[in-house]
């Protein structure tokens, strides 16, 4: 069973609105997202939220598990949020991988949804590390990177993941130069794109192989992609 403290439960509600019931979504609309998360969080039952969270991220893994490489040494997540997905990825790979987890380290007070060049941030990277350590990962497996600082990763990366972040809230192109520094031809990429912004042809400008493996059609259409062969020209 996953354990989440109060700060991480608040952040999670900002990062993942699928966790809200229709009534809670209504309240959030009425009070605004930031106020809702800060004050109405007290009405959420801790156990309920933890159960829902576990279910949500196990389901996320299910959508792409069959596309994952058999062996993985190094994983990068761009816009990792609280990194909860990696509790389950770590279990799958039996505590073997190193996790390079990239995100901003601030919570913007003006929270909005959508796609923009420089999307809002709502994360606390200390919380990310604490959650993972409290849920089975070892300190030596976790490499936290604040994207507002200069990032370098000196390992070859087998798997790059970005759920509801790169390509979905801000352009893939923001990260292509960085990806070229640590990816190889065999690197597998699993990430979500905002359907109205990215066609397969557009993504193929940067990757040789592009497949849609899952789609969600809400107000903000999501396509989950499995890609290989980052273009290096
Ligand atoms: C919708 S949340 C998704 C979090 C996580 N990937 C998940 O599946 O729960 C979007 C995340 O992207 C982060 N983010 C926003 N702008 C970013 C940027 N330019 N680079 C990296 N991460 C960013 C936010 O701070 C937030 O943690």
Structure confidence by residue, pLDDT tens digits, 125-150:
999 999 999 999 999 999 999 999 99
Segment 9-45, tens digit of pLDDT: 888 988 898 888 888 888 877 887 777 777 777 777 8
Test site for ligand 1: of 119, 175, 191, 219, most ligand atoms within 8 A of the Cβ = 119
pTM: 0.94
Q: Which pLDDT does position 6 carry in this prediction?
A: 87
Confidence of residue 119 (pLDDT cuts 50, 70, 90): low
What distance in angstroms lies between residue 137's CA and the mean position of ligand 1's atoms?
A: 21
Tell me how far apart the alpha carbons of residues 182 and 178 are, in angstroms, rounded to a whole number.
7
What distance in angstroms lies between residue 116's CA and the mean position of ligand 1's atoms?
A: 12
Confidence of residue 112 (pLDDT cuts 50, 70, 90): low
Dihedral angle of Cα 86, 92, 95, 99, to the nearest 10 degrees: -30
Across all residues in the chain, what is the average pLDDT? 91
* CA-proximal residue: ligand 1, atom 26 (nearest): 81
Comparison of pLDDT for 43 and 207, the residue scoring more: 207
Q: CB within 8 A of 123, min separation 6: which ones?
A: 11, 15, 80, 81, 82, 103, 104, 105, 106, 107
Confidence of residue 177 (pLDDT cuts 50, 70, 90): very high
Right CATH for 61-230 from 3.40.50.11540, 3.60.10.10, 3.40.50.150, 3.40.50.300: 3.40.50.150
Min mean pLDDT across 86-90, 178-182, 217-221 is at: 217-221
Residue 176 exposed, middle or buried by CB count within 10 Å (0-12, 13-18, 19+) = middle
Q: Which pLDDT does position 145 carry in this prediction?
A: 98
Question: Where along the chain do its domains lie?
Answer: 61-230
* CA-proximal residue: ligand 1, atom 27 (nearest): 81
Question: Judging by DSSP bridges, how do beta strands 207-216 and 74-78 pair with one another?
Answer: unpaired
188 phi and psi angles, rounded to 5 deg:
-95, 135
Min mean pLDDT across 94-108, 117-131, 142-156 is at: 117-131
What distance in angstroms lies between residue 66's CA and the mean position of ligand 1's atoms?
A: 24
Min mean pLDDT across 13-22, 56-65, 210-219 is at: 13-22
**And the tokens for 168?**
């979905």
Segment 150-163, tens digit of pLDDT: 999 999 999 999 99
Test site for ligand 1: of 120, 123, 165, 218, most ligand atoms within 8 A of the Cβ = 165
């Amino acid at each position: 069973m996953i354990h989440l403290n109060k700060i991480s439960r608040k952040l999670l509600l900002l990062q993942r609105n699928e966790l809200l019931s229709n009534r809670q979504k209504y309240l959030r609309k009425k009070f605004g997202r930031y106020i809702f998360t800060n004050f109405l969080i007290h009405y959420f039952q801790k156990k309920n939220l933890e159960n829902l969270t576990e279910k949500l991220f196990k389901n996320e893994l299910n959508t792409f598990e069959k596309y994952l490489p058999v062996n993985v040494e190094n994983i990068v997540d761009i816009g990792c949020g609280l990194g909860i997905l990696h509790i389950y990825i770590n279990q799958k790979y039996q505590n073997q991988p190193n996790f390079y987890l990239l995100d901003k380290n601030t919570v913007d007070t003006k929270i909005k949804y959508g796609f923009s060049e420089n999307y809002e941030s709502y994360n606390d990277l200390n919380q990310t590390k604490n959650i993972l350590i409290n849920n089975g990962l070892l300190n030596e497996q976790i490499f936290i990177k604040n994207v507002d600082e200069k990032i370098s990763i000196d390992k070859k990366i087998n798997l790059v993941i970005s759920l509801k972040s790169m390509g979905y809230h801000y352009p893939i192109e923001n990260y292509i130069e960085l990806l070229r520094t640590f990816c190889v031809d065999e690197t597998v990429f699993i990430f979500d794109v905002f359907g109205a912004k990215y066609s397969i042809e557009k993504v193929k400008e940067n990757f040789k192989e592009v497949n849609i493996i899952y789609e969600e059609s809400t107000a903000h259409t999501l396509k989950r992609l499995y890609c290989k062969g980052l273009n290096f020209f």
